[in-house]
A and B are shown apart, each in its own frame.
Chain A
Amino acid sequence: MARGALLGFLVILATSPVWILLTHIVLARLCRRTPPQLVAAAAGLAGIVHPTLLSCMLVAPDAPSVLRLPVELTYGALVYACLAYSYFHLFNMSETARRIRILSELYVAGPLSAQEISRLYSGEGLVEARLDRLVATRQLELRAERYVRVPRLLYAAAWLTRGWRSVLGFNRGGASRSGA
């Protein structure tokens, strides 16, 4: 692949989150009744259209498309998948992250004590919001007042995060923290 075409290809890939954001802005307004996390995931999938078209048409209009070259195709798919995944999690942070919610409470209300933070954002409310969200996105089912049916993929994610936590030494009683 020509060096100019490769540079163009890298620029298109590096800017792909912008296309995901623009797609997300449109989809969020079209699908107001759909759970926001599903809309964000759909934007991540749909956002691939622009970088693919740009890579095919603009980078090397007279040469064979970069996407017909196996190494470039693998490279592009990997970079885009990682960036789309990161975009989804960035959106998830705005939607579910406890730390962002605490910062938002402090931004709106000004300085707060620990008790005031707990009153504005209680642990029980947090769990209930997550239960509602898991049911709305069909990750859990509420049957006769009991939560049942978890997709195996989500359970695998939960199992993996627990395992990785052990690898990092979080579960050791005396895990130390330095001042780095």
Chain B
Amino acid sequence: MRAIVLLAAFTSFACCLMCHVALWRIARPTSDARALFLIFLGVPAAAALGFMGAGTAFAGGGWPQWLDVLAMLLLHWALSVAYIQTYPAVQAQSPSLEIVYAVFKSMPRGLSREELLTTLDTRQLVGDRVEDLVANRLIRAAGDLYILTPLSTLIVKFFLGFRSLLGLSSRGG
């Protein structure tokens, strides 16, 4: 493996990150999860397939070898998946991190449970996430009721199965 594989993976990740920041600042997509998957996983995979195809078709023409492209894509995806997993804490203002921030700022006095409940807008904590689910087409409104979509049913079944494998109770939150 050549060091250029590492460099190429970091460069492609940085390019995706810049596209993401630019798009979010200009016109943030309604379905941010779909947009993130497209920017960080879909487009680079299509580009890598193109490079692999060109490398196979025009061997010796200065194109990178397919295995190097695959190695680059694996590192790019690993970095991207790590970022995509971190993104919800940024987008949805993780309550745990908000608690930590509030308590740190209040030191050395600290905060009581009641003060923390006042600091965090508890009414919005769940309501905003329901709106996100609608925007990402994971639930749909039928009158004043919310209904799961086939994709979100699959997601719930995946997490229930995952927790069951670990011997944990069905619901976190």
The number of chain B residues touching the other chain, given as a range, is: 35 or more
Interface size on A, residues (CB 8 A): 89
On chain A, the residues within 8 Å of B67 by CB distance are 3, 6-7, 10
In the complex, the answer to whether A123 meets B5 with C-beta atoms within 8 Å is no
Residue among B70, B104, B165 with the most chain A CB within 10 A? B104
On chain A, the residues within 8 Å of B78 by CB distance are 78-79, 82-83, 86
In the complex, the answer to whether A111 meets B103 with C-beta atoms within 8 Å is no
Interchain nearest-CB distance for A176 vs B (Å): 5
In the complex, the answer to whether A94 meets B172 with C-beta atoms within 8 Å is yes
In the complex, the answer to whether A99 meets B132 with C-beta atoms within 8 Å is yes
On chain A, the residues within 8 Å of B57 by CB distance are none
On chain B, the residues within 8 Å of A36 by CB distance are 166, 168
- A83 CA / B157 CA spacing, docked (Å): 22
B139 at the interface (CB under 8 A from A): yes
Interchain nearest-CB distance for B151 vs A (Å): 10
A57 at the interface (CB under 8 A from B): no
In the complex, the answer to whether A85 meets B129 with C-beta atoms within 8 Å is no
B110 at the interface (CB under 8 A from A): yes
Q: A100-B172, A100-B173 are in contact. Are A178 and B27 (CB under 8 A)?
A: yes
Pick the contact of A114: B96, B120, B127 (CB < 8 A).
Answer: B127
- A101 CA / B132 CA spacing, docked (Å): 13
A124 at the interface (CB under 8 A from B): yes
In the complex, the answer to whether A71 meets B2 with C-beta atoms within 8 Å is yes
A112 at the interface (CB under 8 A from B): yes
In the complex, the answer to whether A126 meets B81 with C-beta atoms within 8 Å is no
A-B CB proximity, top 10 nearest: A123-B122, A101-B173, A82-B78, A148-B110, A180-B29, A89-B85, A178-B27, A146-B110, A95-B172, A158-B97
Which B positions have Cβ atoms within 8 angstroms of A?
1-3, 5-6, 20-21, 23-31, 34-35, 67, 70-71, 74-75, 78-79, 81-82, 85-86, 88-101, 103-104, 107-113, 116-117, 120-127, 129-130, 132-133, 138-139, 142, 144-148, 152-153, 155-157, 159-160, 162-163, 165-168, 170-173
Sample of 22 A–B contacts (CB below 8 Å)? A7-B67, A13-B74, A25-B165, A75-B5, A82-B79, A82-B81, A89-B82, A90-B85, A98-B125, A98-B129, A99-B132, A104-B171, A106-B148, A113-B144, A113-B146, A122-B122, A126-B95, A140-B100, A147-B111, A154-B100, A155-B100, A161-B94
Known contacts A158-B101, A161-B89; 17 additional CB pairs below 8 A are: A6-B71, A78-B78, A82-B78, A85-B82, A86-B78, A98-B173, A101-B171, A104-B159, A104-B170, A107-B148, A107-B153, A112-B145, A146-B110, A148-B107, A157-B97, A168-B25, A168-B91
